Every structure is written in C-alpha cells, then in structure tokens.
Structure 1
Amino acid sequence: MNQPVKKRAYVFLFDGFSDWEIAYLTPEINKSKACELLYFSAQGQTVHSMGGMKVVPDIALEQMNTNEVDLLILPGGTAWEKGENNVLDQLVRLLFEQGKTIAAICAASAYLGQKGFLDRLQHTSNDLQYLKGVAPQYLGEKNYLNTLAVADQNIVTANGIAPIEFAREVFKKLNLYSDVETEQWYQLFKNGVWQE
C-alpha cells in the first residue's frame, strides 16, 4: 500500500530572522505526519536569529527543487528592509508562478510588496504607511487590509504582532488540521481557552 506523499514546507533563515514570528507554526508542522518541515539559508550556512539562537539549516538555497515545495515561509527581520535577502528573488517568483503558497510575516511582507506580488491580492503588513515606506515600488494599496493576517490565493501575509494568526492561516493552507481543530488550537494559544 502506497504511503501518501508528504507535503513539504520550507522556512528561509537568515542572520537576524525574527524567531518568535515562526515559533507557533513550526512545532505544529514539525510534528505533523502529513508535512515535512525543512530549513534553508542562502548558502546553507549557520545563522543567528534576532533572539540569539544559532541555527544550522538543512540545506542551501541552490539545493531546493521548486517541484518539491508546497509552502515557503518567510519570517521577518530587518534584512528584508535593507534588501539583504534578494537572493530569493528567483525562487519566490518561480513559486508564485507555480501557484505554490508563500507565507510572509512582518518585514517579509514588505519584500513581497517591493517585488510586486501583492499588487493584485488582498494582503496585510505591519501598517500601510510602513509598507509604502519600505517598498517604494508597492502598488497594492487598494488591496491592503488593516487586519492581523490575510490569505488570498497563494499568498499569506501577517502583521509582525500576529504570529498566532499567521500560524492559523498557514495551517489552513496546508490542511494541517480540520477547521474545528484549527479553531481549537487558535483559541488555546490566543486566549488560553480549550474548547471541545
């Protein structure tokens, strides 16, 4: 009997990535039997998070095969605002064109805005003025929603203060849990309430 093919979620890591912004979603994906979680950096090099964690990624960017990517997760960090992560441009464009899910939180959403991926999709970020300031080429103002997290087509965006809402939208995209289970998880971590 054939085993179902696992989905693959990839997290891009870089020096100064905002570790707390992915801290709710990565454990849930990692323990899932339906999804494999992989970390990568530009050269496969060890990176240090904003919180000082030293992380050794699984692979380098050049080792990635876009056909094996179901979800790309982009945590925030000031490197996006400084244009230091443009090494991802080709990968992100290919994944976007293939309809693969790209999930970006905080400053990583500004990167998507800078590259034009948010121009025709509903999205959010830290703030509209922040997004326009950090991403001068951004043309998606009419599609901006002042909310914590948004999923539209193959793009998930979130405000940097919303790692729990970000996780919830990612879980939905991966079909990680049923709608009821996802809401139970959300209520537990957001409000400290477990609902049967």
Structure 2
Amino acid sequence: MKTIYIYVLDTLADWELGYVTAELNSRRFFKEGANQVAIKTVSNSKQAISTMGGMTIVPDYLIDDIIVSETSMLLLPGADTWNDPKHEPILVKASELLSVGATVCAICGATAALANFGILDNRPHTSNGPGFLEMVCSDYKGQDFYIDQPSIASNNLITAGSTEALLWTKQIIECLDVFKSNTLESWYNYFNTGDSKYFFELMQTLTSNNKN
C-alpha cells in the first residue's frame, strides 16, 4: 500500500492536481495487480482551505500524521501563499521523507518553497523557467542543479513548472508503477495531443494481456 499525501493550502492551484488525483483515485487505467494507493489530504490544521478556483477542501490529516516511510509519497501543489512561515513544517517533513527514500513531488510555487528551504541545493530539479527561482527565492543556492526541462524526475524528487501538470502526473504514475508502460504512453499522448488515435490505443492497452 502506498499512501499519497497531498498538502493543501489556501490558493492551491486546482489545475496542477487534476490529472494525478483523478487517475489515482479512479484507478480506471491501473494494470492488473497494481499496488493499492490511498490518497490523503494533509495540512497544518484541520480548518478548510480555499483553492484558487474557490473550491473548499477540509484536510484529512495534520502534518504530524504523515508516516515517514518509503511507502509514502508527498505531493506539493503550487499556490500564492507558500511564503507564509506556517508552511515550514511541511518542508521539514518533505526533507525527512526524502532522507528515507520516499518520493516528494513539487510543482510551480512549491518548487520555490523547496528552494528557499535548501532542499534543492544539491538535487537535480526544474521550476517555472531559468531565473525564476533566483527571482523569488532569496536563499536559493541550487543553480548548478537546475535543469531547463518541463518536468524532472531524479531519484525520489519530481519537480515541474506550472504548465506541466500532465507530464508531472505521468512521471508520478511511472514512479508508482500502477499503469502498464504502454497504457501510460497512450494516456499521456492522448491528453497531450487530443488525437483520437491515442484514445483507441489507450483502450487497446487495457484489453491486452501484456502486463508490462
């Protein structure tokens, strides 16, 4: 069982989590025998948060409830409120998770929060483009590890820019190993291009006996 903890905070960027939460919760394209995953929202209090789109989310857990284990994964979405010091505890937890081999996934503003906290100083990563982290992070020292690509999966850290929720999701699903490889490729190609041929390829992978 993998537990996917999603940190929720006010002004959370709704679109950045849409693909990953829908696919992991619905399991509609999971391969036979895929590991079970549990999705839990977590925050620094049990008070409801309001997303950028005006949706209300009541967190399931507090930060202290996160189990620091290789079987945990932490998703950090973008938001306009990451500069608030009250979010430091989740950054501490992210560092703890990385230290035990758990996967941390950050997109958009969450990459800036990791950068300010020093987590990206020695880890390959990306963000919203060259110069972005220097512009918004006074304590950023990871320039030598910045890779100018849309989304980067390196060891147990997955980072992406604000427009790359789809590729970020693809890399998260690949890390979890819950789709067959050909299902994942067809899924990504379909949503990335809108070409119906990939939809039919996707459907075909679900009926194939190939489990890879």
Aligned CA RMSD, in angstroms, stands at: 1.6
Deviations 1:34-62 (A, max 9, x none): 21111111112211101000111212222
- Residue equivalent to 1:85: 87
Change (3 A) 1:89 1:135: same
Out of 169, 172, 175, the position equivalent to 1:170 is 172
TM-score, scaled relative to structure 1: 0.91
2:12 aligned to which of 1, 9, 17: 17
- Residue 7 of structure 1 corresponds to which residue in structure 2? 2
Give the one of 31, 46, 50 matched to 1:44. Answer: 46
The C-alpha deviation readout for 1:84-115, integer Å capped at 9, x for no partner, is 52131321121111111000000101111112
Contact 1:124 1:147 in 2 (8 A): yes
Gaps (5+ residues) in structure 2? 28-34, 202-212
**What is the CA-CA distance between 1:178 and the residue it aligns to?**
2.1
Partner of 2:207: none
Amino acid at match of 1:90: V
* Correspondent of 1:122 among 112, 121, 124: 124
**4+ residue runs over 6 A deviation:** none
1:157 counterpart residue number = 159
Residues paired across the two proteins, number:
191
Whether the aligned pair in 2 keeps the contact of 1:128 and 1:141 (CA below 8 Å) is no
8 Å CA contact 1:102–1:154 kept in 2: the answer is yes
**CA offsets per residue over residues 121-145 of structure 1, 9 Å max, x none?**
2211012211012222222112211
Q: 2:102 aligns with which of 100, 103, 106?
A: 100
CA pair 68-121 structure 1, distance change in 2 beyond 3 A:
closer
Quick check: 63-72 or 167-176, which moved more?
Answer: 63-72
Alignment gaps of 5+ in structure 1: 1-5
Inter-partner Cα distance in structure 2 for 1:187 and 1:89: 33
Look up the SS of the partner of 1:147 in the other structure.
coil
Q: How does the TM-score come out when normalised to structure 2?
A: 0.84
Determine what percentage of the aligned residue pairs are the same residue.
30
Looking at CA atoms only, which structure, 1 or 2, has the larger radius of gyration? 2
How much does 1:181 deviate?
A: 1.2
Residue number in structure 2 paired with 1:186: 188
SS at match of 1:104: strand
2:55 corresponds to: 53
In 2, are the aligned partners of 1:44 and 1:61 still within 8 Å (CA)?
no
Choose which of 59, 63, 76 in structure 1 pairs with 2:65: 63
Maintained 8 Å contact 1:45/1:60 = no
